[in-house]
Structure 1
Amino acid sequence: MKSNSNNLLRREWMKGFKKSAGIVVFSLSILFPLHLFSDTLKIATDEWCPYDCLPGQNDGKVGYLGDLLVETMKARGHKVEFVEVNYTRGLELVREGKLDGTMACFREEAPDFIFPDFPLGKSNSTFFTLKYSSWKYSGTQSLKQAKMIGVIDGYDYVDPTVMEYLNAKPNNVLAMKGEKPLERLLEMLISGRITTIIEDKSVLEYKITQMGKVDLVKVSGVTDSVIDVFASFSPKKKNSKEYAKILSEETIKMRKDGRLQLLLDKYGIKDWQSK
């Protein structure tokens, strides 16, 4: 009889404990939202300023997309850590799930990645020459007429006409490898060793301003192809869709309250939607 009575008391106590525990968990979920249990995202970064900047080369700046990732993820309790890696290798590491995402890429380069609801920039390849140069881009024939065209090895310049010419590996194309390739190409342009450089307009203008040589170059042609720029997340990571959702939702908030333009002002650029 004593044993049965003890069992009954034990069952009643367990019911009360489970109920109390449930109340405690529910209360904690109100006081401490789940997003406060934060992740640290590891994001691949390469030098493509102002979209994606290596802080060691840019007075600590990580690029407007880097700043945007930091701000949007912080709003939901997450942290961001940038991993400096060659662009192509970075895509591989993200695809393999060894990194959480990449700061700036084209959807066409990584269609299997997880993307936010809208692009975070727009890019088109632009030709730059010295101020006094008479050369202008007007299609394949003008490319043939250039003494030397400077490009960065492995880059996709998007426009079919340009890429068809570059992929044929003509003798008048110099594909720069190694560290600081754009800076070295600009030095060669200024010294008169090459005719023109192809690069995203914002990227080249940012770099030439940084070098203090903005008065020496001009735009000498723009390709017809405009391509969207995205931050993106690994197809192998279970939280990637949630990160993409956060990036989309928080960017919209930042645009509405003006914080996005304040962020872009640090790099001297306008909101890509206003262009």
Structure 2
Amino acid sequence: MLLSVSWLSVAVAEVVTIRADEWFPFNGKPDSDRPGYMIELAEMILKEHGHTVDYQVLPWLGSLAMVEKGAFDCVVGTDKVEARNFIFAEEPWGKIKSTFYVDAEDQWQYDGLGSLDHRVLGVIGSYSYGDKMDRYIDQHKNSNVQIVNANNALRQNIGKLKGKFIDTVLAFDLVMEAKLRDLGLSNQIQAAGDLEQADYIYIACSPEKRSSRQYADYFSKGIIEMRINGKLKTLLDKYGIKDWDE
């Protein structure tokens, strides 16, 4: 009897709740044909274990807070510093660089924090760009750094750049490039250098839920299997990006 109960508990289908702010191509609009490759990846892996995904968009800080306390299961698109208490998949699900963007005719290039002194920089308030950059932003937020806090913050910063209210935007490369393609501005705004190193990003689950370690194990093993069988490449091709492990 104990064996049958144990088997049934494993077989029960679960709805895994994922929350994050819209951050395409990692996660996009729910219920669309392109909800983001991390969402599709989670759906494909969890389907193999009989589970489904409930993905909805929430502001980023709210998503972190709600998942941390166990109201939802997982977030996508975080690093191990930003969500240090969470349960992480061992395998990363992406890689990003914090990159500076300027008007296509602007010859400025980032060359250390000192090169920002005569620039007007736009950033997103709820994001971390690394310890050094975060300190710079905090020290200059009342002078040459403008912080936007909104669900469409990146689009706002792009608009401010085009309108010459700022002359530099700091953004994550894959997200910015996807947004510029969407807005038809790829030829009008260019990269102008990036911070020192790329960061791996992950799917991470609630430290308050017993199921989190099992999900993290599914996500780690699943992405390895999909890399081997070619399904990961097919999915990434759909979003126009390359495997970060190559």
Which interval holds the TM-score relative to the shorter structure? over 0.9
Instruction: Write the letter of the residue equivalent to 2:17.
Output: K
Match of 1:129, SS? strand
Show the counterpart of 2:182.
Answer: 210
Q: 1:34 to 1:258 in 2, by over 3 A?
A: farther
Whether 1:154 and 2:126 are equivalent positions in the alignment is: yes
Q: Counterparts in 2 of 1:183-202, with a 5 A limit?
A: 183-202=155-174
Q: 1:88 to 1:22 in 2, by over 3 A?
A: closer
Q: Point out which structure has higher relative CO (alpha carbons under 8 A, 6+ apart).
A: 2
Q: Counterparts in 2 of 1:1-275, with a 5 A limit?
A: 25=4, 35-55=10-30, 59-146=32-119, 148-158=120-130, 160=132, 162-168=133-139, 169-274=141-246
Match of 1:91, SS? helix
Unaligned runs of 5+ in 2: none
Q: Distance in 2 between matches of 1:40 and 1:265?
A: 27
Match of 1:194, SS? coil
Instruction: Write the letter of the residue equivalent to 1:165.
Output: Y
1:59-114 CA deviation, whole Å, 9 max, x = no partner?
A: 54221111111110011111110132111111111111111111221111122111
Which deviates the most, 186-195 or 113-122?
186-195
Higher helix proportion, which one?
Answer: 1
Q: Distance in 1 between matches of 2:69 and 2:9?
A: 27
Instruction: Write the letter of the residue equivalent to 1:65.
Output: M
1:191-218 CA deviation, whole Å, 9 max, x = no partner?
A: 3221111011111000000111111011
Tell me how far 1:159 sits from its aligned partner.
Answer: 5.3
Percent sequence identity is 30
Q: Work out whether residues 36 and 78 of structure 1, in 8 Å CA contact, stay in contact via their aligned partners in 2.
A: no
1:162-210 CA deviation, whole Å, 9 max, x = no partner?
A: 2221011241111112231111211221232211110111110000001
Counting matched residue pairs gives: 245
Instruction: Write the letter of the residue equivalent to 2:229.
Output: D
Show the counterpart of 1:13.
Answer: none
Which deviates the most, 46-55 or 75-84?
46-55
Q: Distance in 2 between matches of 1:22 and 1:136?
A: 66
Q: Work out whether residues 45 and 53 of structure 1, in 8 Å CA contact, stay in contact via their aligned partners in 2.
A: no
Match of 2:178, SS? helix
Q: Distance in 2 between matches of 1:131 and 1:22?
A: 67
TM-score by length of 1: 0.83
Q: Distance in 2 between matches of 1:229 and 1:222?
A: 17
Structure number, greater radius of gyration = 1
TM-score by length of 2: 0.93
Unaligned runs of 5+ in 1: 1-20
RMSD: 2.1
Q: Distance in 1 between matches of 2:238 and 2:204?
A: 23
